[in-house]
Amino acid sequence: MEAQTQPSTPTPSRTNTKVQVLDGSPDFAYLVADRVTDPYQAKDCTILIIGRKRSGKSTQAIALAEEIAEDIACIKGESDPSLYFDVEECVISVERMGGLDLFTSERATRNNQVFVIDDAKINISNRKFASPENQIQNELVTIFGPFKHVLIFTSVFKRSIDKDSRELADFIIKIDGSNPYTKQTYGQVFFYETNDAGDEYKKFLQWQNPDTGVLYRLNRWIGTLPTPNNLRKYNNMRRCNSVKLIEDARAQVMEMKKVKAEPRIKPSQQREIWITQNKEHVQTLRDRGYSIRKIAREMNKPPTTIEKCLGGS
């Protein structure tokens, strides 16, 4: 992501980067990569990207993940960014249970992996925070520190994410929109923290020019599209998962209709059916000398039902 402030003029800072940044300042991807590769502290990084529908959140998340993986590889002196990010292994999109599969994969036990959880409101919805799946995901996210992973969540609204997971965010990227011609997104990046009382604070990132000593507030960021290959992989994944989600929903709707169409049996009818099915067995127990109360306990039925079974009124 490219930072924009006034009055500095954007110029390239590294020859291998895909974006242009302020003269001398690192881009956001490098800040994250430097954080998680610091050999003196075990820090992971959780980034929450929010914005309205069709604002470019997902493509920005994939592009940012690419850039972070490239910088991690560069810092470690390696030439293969796919060691840290691969769309087919590190991205979850439109899957209710996908977060669990991702966080329990073999990749999760490697260091400095970059994961993207797209449409996080499906995976860790605030409305189902107490579900076993949600609780397991929250627990897994909290123990990723030693592995120093980068987790990128996207969601339409911040409040759609479970509060426990939301409080783990280190940065929030608010996508304000995208340019339909250049396909670039633009928005704001905030350092995010909460206090013990749960109050939330967002702070703009700042950069001090070492030559002039001037402190700039980085209040506008420009993002790029992912590489064509990764963009194609992501679009195919999202479409396939969307089709599967629709098919699962259709099956659930058909099952609901089937249950609704079945005639409801009244309690009195259920009793008569039970008596018909168990009459011989009850009579056998009675012939063995069982009392009506003992048969009732054995069959887990009231004595009146047992009497009816035996031909009583």
Residue 262 lies in a domain: no
Residue 250 lies in a domain: no
Residue with the two structure tokens 């490697």: 110
pLDDT at 113: 94
Evaluate the omega torsion of the peptide bond into residue 146 and state whether it is cis, within 30 degrees of 0.
no
pLDDT confidence tier of residue 256, bands split at 50, 70 and 90: confident
Does the structure show a pLDDT above 90 at 310?
Answer: no
Structure tokens, 141: 């996210």
Q: How many domains does the chain have?
A: 2
Average pLDDT rounded to a whole number, residues 194-221: 80
- 273 and 204 within one domain: no
pLDDT confidence tier of residue 185, bands split at 50, 70 and 90: confident
Q: Are strands 171-178 and 150-155 parallel, antiparallel or unpaired?
A: unpaired
pLDDT digits (tens, 9 = 90+) for 264-281: 777 778 888 888 888 888
- 138 and 24 within one domain: yes
- 145 and 50 within one domain: yes
CATH code of the domain in which 236 resides: 3.40.50.300
pLDDT at 179: 79
Does the structure show a pLDDT above 60 at 295?
Answer: yes
Nearest 5°: the CA angle 148, 123, 246 is 140
Residue 167's contacts (CB-CB under 8 Å, 6 or more residues apart) are 194, 198
**Percent of the chain scored above 70 by pLDDT?**
76
pLDDT confidence tier of residue 70, bands split at 50, 70 and 90: very high
Does the structure show a pLDDT above 50 at 19?
Answer: no
pLDDT at 262: 64
Residue 107 lies in a domain: yes
- 293 and 180 within one domain: no
Last residue of a domain, one of 243, 259, 284: 243
Average pLDDT rounded to a whole number, residues 298-306: 87
- 287 and 215 within one domain: no
Does the structure show a pLDDT above 70 at 17?
Answer: no
- Tell me which residue range forms the domain holding 194: 2-243
Residue 293 lies in a domain: yes
- 283 and 158 within one domain: no
Residue 256's contacts (CB-CB under 8 Å, 6 or more residues apart) are none
Residue 133 lies in a domain: yes
143-157, 197-211, 244-258, 283-297: which is most confident: 283-297
Residue 254 lies in a domain: no
Task: Give the DSSP H/E element, type plus range, for residue 150.
Answer: strand 150-155
- 282 and 237 within one domain: no
- 18 and 71 within one domain: yes
pLDDT digits (tens, 9 = 90+) for 223-233: 888 999 999 99
Residue 119 lies in a domain: yes
pLDDT at 104: 78
pLDDT at 123: 46
Give the separation between CA 187 and CA 178, rounded to whole angstroms: 9
Residue 29 lies in a domain: yes
- 199 and 111 within one domain: yes
- 282 and 171 within one domain: no
- 292 and 149 within one domain: no
- 163 and 224 within one domain: yes
pLDDT confidence tier of residue 7, bands split at 50, 70 and 90: very low
